[in-house]
């Protein structure tokens, strides 16, 4: 079993120690942040304390009712839109986990059989051979 804490169906994070609460509340911005998030200060302090005590924990998935979304000025997504979003997320995760293709071993681009055919021979041009010989052998002057 893992050492990670299990949070199942908690309405709020568990309370933290008085020492940790005092340390978090010592920051004058805590009340402002809680107000901006529209959270009670006590719940905000417990949330911060929970993540301090459990640094590897990812934030829980938040489920909000359609009525509360409407109160926040957000239209609830349709089931089709939710499905498309989940499918897109799954595809993005798969793409991030699959090899890129750049790491694959190099393959031969052309394979030649060892039993090759007869080599091509160019027809000999006697004039060309004479010209080359004359150019290579310096003239006596």
Residue 98 resides in a domain: no
Residue 32 resides in a domain: yes
Q: What is the CA radius of gyration of the chain?
A: 38
Task: For 9-31, write each residue's pLDDT tens digit.
Answer: 456 678 889 999 999 999 999 99
Banded pLDDT at 35 (limits 50, 70, 90):
very high
Residue 5 resides in a domain: no
Q: Which residue did the predictor score with more confidence, 36 or 125?
A: 36
Banded pLDDT at 1 (limits 50, 70, 90):
very low
Task: For 48-76, write each residue's pLDDT tens digit.
Answer: 998 888 888 877 667 788 888 888 888 88
Rounded CA-CA distance 58/81 in Å is 25
Residue 66 resides in a domain: yes
Residue 53 resides in a domain: yes
Cα angle for residues 94, 99, 101 (degrees, 5° grid): 130
Residue 30 resides in a domain: yes
Does the global pTM surpass 0.75?
no
Share of the chain above pLDDT 90, in %: 23
Residue 107 resides in a domain: no
Residue 26 resides in a domain: yes
Total number of domains in the chain: 1
Rounded CA-CA distance 93/34 in Å is 33
Mean pLDDT of the chain: 79
Residue-range definition of the domain harbouring residue 60? 18-79
Share of the chain above pLDDT 70, in %: 72
DSSP assignment of 37-51 equals TT--HHHHHHHHHHH
Query: Which residues, other chains included, contact 115 with Cβ-Cβ below 8 Å and sequence gap of 6+?
Result: none
């Amino acid at each position: 079993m893992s050492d990670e804490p299990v949070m199942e169906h908690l309405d709020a994070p568990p309370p933290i120690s008085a020492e940790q609460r005092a340390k978090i509340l010592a920051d004058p911005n805590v009340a402002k942040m809680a107000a901006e998030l529209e959270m009670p200060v006590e719940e905000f302090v417990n949330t911060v304390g929970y993540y301090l005590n459990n640094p590897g924990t990812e934030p829980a998935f938040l489920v909000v009712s359609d009525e509360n979304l409407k109160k926040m000025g957000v239209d609830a997504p349709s089931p089709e839109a939710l499905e498309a979003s989940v499918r897109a997320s799954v595809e993005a995760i798969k793409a991030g986990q699959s090899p890129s293709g750049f790491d694959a071993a190099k393959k031969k681009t052309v394979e030649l059989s060892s039993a090759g055919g007869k080599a091509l021979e160019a027809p000999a041009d006697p004039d060309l051979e004479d010209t080359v010989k004359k150019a290579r052998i310096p003239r006596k002057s």
